Structures are given as C-alpha cells and as structure tokens.
Copies of this chain bind each other. A is one copy, B any other.
Amino acid sequence: MNAPDAVIALDAADRLAHKRSEFSLPDNTIYLDGNSLGPLPKCVKPAIDELVTDQWGADLIHSWNRHQWIDLPSLVGEKIAPLIGAAPNQVIACDSISVNLFKLLAAALKLNTSRSIVLSQTDNFPTDLYIAQGLSDLLGEQHCQLKQVAGSDLIANLDESVAVLLLTEVNFRTGELHDMRVITELAHSKGVLVIWDLAHSAGALPIELDQCQVDFAVGCGYKYFNGGPGAPAFVYVSQRHQPSLQQPLSGWMGHKAPFNFEPNYRQGKGITRLLSGTPNILSMVALDAALTVFDQLNMHHVRLKDLNLLSPSDPQRRGSHLAYSHDDGFAITQALIEHGVVVDFRAPNIIRFGLTPLTLSYQDIWQATQILTLIMREKLYCQPKYQRRQKVT
C-alpha cells in the first residue's frame, strides 16, 4: 500500500527525517508507543558494550573516576537541561519519578510551612497522587493534605490555602496540555509553589522551565528521551530555591563530601543534594547515549512536525500523543498491534497513539490510519482473539 503523493512530499520536506535512521526499529511495525517506551537509539548498544566490557570488566573500580561514572548524574542532567529550558546547574538524573517527587514534595512543603494543602487533579498520573498520599500518611494531614480536583476545577481551587500545586504538563490518558506559563504565574500570585511532572512532555515539546519561573520539576528518561526501560528520571530545582532546599532522602551521594565518610549529613552543593544512593550506571549510560540523538535539535522543530501533521482542534492544548475512547478500545488496540501498529491502551477504554516525531515518517502515520480504517470498517477487532486482557499493554 503506497502512500499518496502528498504524504510522500511531506516526508521529503521533513527536516527531522534523517533522525529516523538513528533508531533500531523492527520491520513491519509502526511504533506509536514512544510515549510509553522510547525505541532503541542505535548509539546505545556500543555505549553499553563499552561500559560492560571495557569499563566494568577491565577497569573495574577505577572506572568511577577514569570513566566519570561518579559524574554521570550531573552530566546527564546537563544534557537534559537545554531540552527543558533550564540553564546549567539545575537538573540532575537520578532515581525514579516517584522517588524524586517525594523529595521535592517534602522539600517544597518545608519552604511553605504555614500551608499544608497539595493541590492536584484526580486524573493526574497515579504515582504523583500516591506519593502525595504516602507523604501525607507519614507527616499527618496537618502537614500534608492532598486535595484532588477535576482538571476544570483547578483554577478555582488555587487559593492561599494551597502550599504546593502538583501537575503533569501533558495528561497521560487524554494528552491534554496544561499552560505551564499561565498556571505557574497564577500559582505564584497566590503564594503557591509548583511542581511540574514532565513525564509526557520532556523530549516531545518545547518546555521553558526558567522562562516560566517554574519552581520544581521531574521527568522521565524512558519515554521521549528513549533512555531504555526504567531509565533514570531527572529532577529540576530552580536556582533560586537551591540554597534553602532540604530533601529528606539524604543518602550519601547527596552529601557535600561523600568520600569523607563523615557520620553527619551535610548537604551537597546546589542540585547535587537531590542525589540519594549510588547511581545505576548501566541505566545511566544508556540514557546518556540516547540523549545524543537530541544534539543540535531544536525542540520547536520537533513540535512543529507533530502539530502540522495532526490538524487538531486545538493543538496548543495537547501533548504528543492522541487519545481516543471506544467501548472496544482494548480489542482495537490488540487488533492494531497484530497488524503491526503498536499503540497502547489505558483503562477503562482509551487507545493512545504516541506520535514521536524523531522516529516516525508521515508515511508511517498514513499507513497506520489506513490500517485503523480497515480494522474499524471491517470490525476486525470483534474477533474473539482480541478480547483477552494482558497484564500490561
């Protein structure tokens, strides 16, 4: 099935088209799930080979200095910084989003002690809500109380009782995009600190953390940054909060002088105090290599490719995946996958189409829509084999 000339012309004019060859992608598959797990950049394999064989295998313990393992959280953080609009010394790679949110939430509440409410939206990604609940259980509601409201009620609830606003920029189900600049400004006008979760936006959209005066942010290494399954997350703390910031997971790597092995904790300088335990070097090296795909890349070009294609009703309000609900969403997802179009499903009835501009051509998208059309028109998804549930989709 050949795409129409108009689609072929779009690919010919695509200034990001060369990026596709930097990825290993299976044949006969259109992968629309980069929003769950980014595909494998070709540069990762040699980087991991070198790490395992030459560094760990041959240089052993000396690699911590010789191959800069000890600096990887900072080096990776500085690679991410320009991709999210952050000046240097504000981003570091470590742990998971969940663990990093705990650090930031506890630290933010310490900076705003006269208030206790953490405001978020009910359909935020659950781990954000769960972490706030865990902190609340630990500290008691007088110190930390999670208030979940519908997205449409956020503004009305953003008042002087709120200590911290905790939001994900792009909704994991619907793909809806919050206006970071407007919301952050409004929050600040009420004395509210803001933590942005960039899980579904970092690497997909231009983000201007510094310009938007954002206080704190976390984000994901394994979605649009293609760092591999369970890649380290990252954390951003605005320069202006760093001197007074104190986070509770005060492990040895966040100490001012970890190799002094002192019995008392002294916070590391600036963003390094966000570190906790020993960094996961294998995963860190994969993410470090994967980020080279973004060298010299303009995130506005990435975004434009995404938007030009989609002709959405309101592109300014959406991230980089499209979500459709359908009563047979699960079966449609399974039928698409069997026909070589990898999408994912989110309960109860949502199909997500992840449109990662670096790895997809316009012809891929055209092909995917042809297949979707066939599946829907012929009701192929009604076949019994597509009805069974998997544990993870």
Contact = CB atoms under 8 A, between A and B. Distances in A.
Question: Most chain-B CB neighbours within 10 Å: which of A24, A260, A265, A278?
Answer: A278
Interface string A128-151: 011101110111000000001000
Contact of A281 (B96, B228, B246, B342): B228
A147 to B, nearest CB: 12
A205 to B, nearest CB: 21
Interface of A: 24, 26, 29, 31, 33, 36-37, 39-40, 44-45, 48, 52-53, 56-65, 69-70, 95-99, 102, 106, 122-127, 129-131, 133-135, 137-139, 148, 172-173, 222, 228-233, 246-255, 258-265, 276-284, 286, 337, 342, 344, 346-347, 390-393
A99 B284 contact: no
A72 to B, nearest CB: 9
A342 B278 CA distance: 21
Contact of A95 (B53, B99, B125, B253): B99
A96 to B, nearest CB: 2
B131 A250 contact: yes
Contacts of A65: 390-392
Contacts of A233: 277
Given A134-B250, A282-B230, A277 B98 contact: yes
A44 B48 contact: no
A145 to B, nearest CB: 14
**This chain's copy number in the assembly:** 2
B61 A249 contact: no
Contact of A52 (B40, B122, B125, B139): B40
Contacts of A265: 126, 129-130, 133-134
Contacts of A97: 251, 277-278
B281 A230 contact: yes
Contact of A133 (B44, B56, B264): B264
Given A33-B60, A37-B60, A261-B347, A96 B251 contact: yes
B61 A344 contact: yes
B249 A98 contact: yes
Contacts of A24: 53, 57-58
A34 to B, nearest CB: 9
A52 B61 contact: no
Contact of A261 (B247, B346, B390): B346
A153 B260 CA distance: 24
Contacts of A127: 251-252, 277
A342 B61 CA distance: 8
A126 B37 contact: no
Contact of A99 (B37, B106, B251, B259): B251
